[in-house]
Structure 1
């Protein structure tokens, strides 16, 4: 029996992953042509944070585009609950949630050895980057209330199939970024005397590469599942 193949979901997944990988590629290209990597951890002299913000926003808009076909399956109660996620109160709640996540990441960075006073701006930029790669996409997609439910491993009732697909892909993005930023710390204590070993350059690069690897892994799984369905259909 041939496996069920959801063509629209697969297209959504591949476009989503393409945007993620393109974002990392743009960041790496920008860094390649940036002569002074010291500014990489600067809030005002680096374009890494705006580039990542734009990439995550594009993925949310993509999920919104594909969810248009799913809205007809929602009940009136689900529509009302979904609309309540984007009131002024919920938007402010989403901003507060992202701020708290940024402060949490900054605290974790300090606990793991980041300078407390000398590099506070660099720590904030790294924490903000991790927030954009982990929490912000869910807030942009579901609002503050929906994102808070997801943080507590509870799926909102009003979520559509396309939004659920996006949430599943956000997990690869988030895990890759966190593990990559942590792995980037390995090169900091080595006595290579390289400029790019300065904090937070290895962590920023690690977060971007980890994000790319997470998305490549997700892409390989999707392509494998698609090829498997195709081969089963060909045999039948």
Structure 2
């Protein structure tokens, strides 16, 4: 029997990955044509953080759009629990979770070699970028309580199929951003005397390229699975 092809899920995945890859392309184009690379670490002079935030918001809205058809599968109790995760208290909890994740990433950056007594703004921008790529989309999608459950590797019981698909894709962004930011540190101590070696430029660029590689890997898996479905259909 040929495997079942979920057309809606595949569309959701490909649109999601298209947004991610387009975001990285826009950010890299912006950085390429920016006159001063040192502005990358500035919260007010760089557009990288707003671009990434807009991208994550669009991906959450996309997941919401596709999850409308799945809401009917939720029980009344699950719907009530979902609603409670978007109360004023839970929204404040989500903001607190975002803040704590940003502080945690800043602490990790310092532990791994970021300046302690200087470059506060640059460390904050890098930490905020990592939080946007890892925590923000889950908070926006599931609320503070749901995101906290995901952080402890526990899936909320009110989650729909489309939201579960989005969470799987968020994982590639998160892993790619963290690994890319860490890999970007490799070029910092090299004696090349280049402007783009200054902290946190290699880490920001590494986080963006890591996201791109993570999403390309996810896209290749999806296209491979889709091709397998159609090839198996032809055999039957």
For residues 80-131 of structure 1, give each alpha carbon's deviation from its aligned partner in whole angstroms, at most 9, with x where no partner exists.
0001111000000000000000000000000001001210100000000000
Paired with 2:143 and 2:162, the residues of 1 have a C-alpha distance of: 16
Matched, 1:164 2:159: no
Paired with 1:15 and 1:116, the residues of 2 have a C-alpha distance of: 40
Paired with 2:209 and 2:147, the residues of 1 have a C-alpha distance of: 25
2:44 match: secondary structure: coil
Structure 1 residue 202 displacement after superposition: 0.1
| 1:24 equivalent in structure 2 | 24
Matched, 1:42 2:42: yes
Structure 1 residue 5 displacement after superposition: 1.1
Paired with 1:136 and 1:210, the residues of 2 have a C-alpha distance of: 17
Report the RMSD for the aligned CA atoms in angstroms: 0.4
Paired with 1:60 and 1:114, the residues of 2 have a C-alpha distance of: 32
Correspondence list, 1:1-236, <5 A: 1-236=1-236
Aligned residues: 236
Paired with 2:126 and 2:117, the residues of 1 have a C-alpha distance of: 15
Paired with 1:207 and 1:54, the residues of 2 have a C-alpha distance of: 17
Segments ≥4 residues shifted beyond 4 Å: none
Paired with 2:93 and 2:116, the residues of 1 have a C-alpha distance of: 28
Structure 1: any 5+ residue segments left out of the alignment? Answer: none
Paired with 1:77 and 1:24, the residues of 2 have a C-alpha distance of: 40
Structure 1 residue 235 displacement after superposition: 1.4
1:63 match: secondary structure: helix
Paired with 1:109 and 1:24, the residues of 2 have a C-alpha distance of: 22
Paired with 1:189 and 1:226, the residues of 2 have a C-alpha distance of: 44
Structure 1 residue 162 displacement after superposition: 0.2
Paired with 2:32 and 2:182, the residues of 1 have a C-alpha distance of: 22
Structure 2: any 5+ residue segments left out of the alignment? Answer: none
Paired with 1:104 and 1:83, the residues of 2 have a C-alpha distance of: 29
TM superposition score normalised by structure 2: 0.99
TM superposition score normalised by structure 1: 0.99
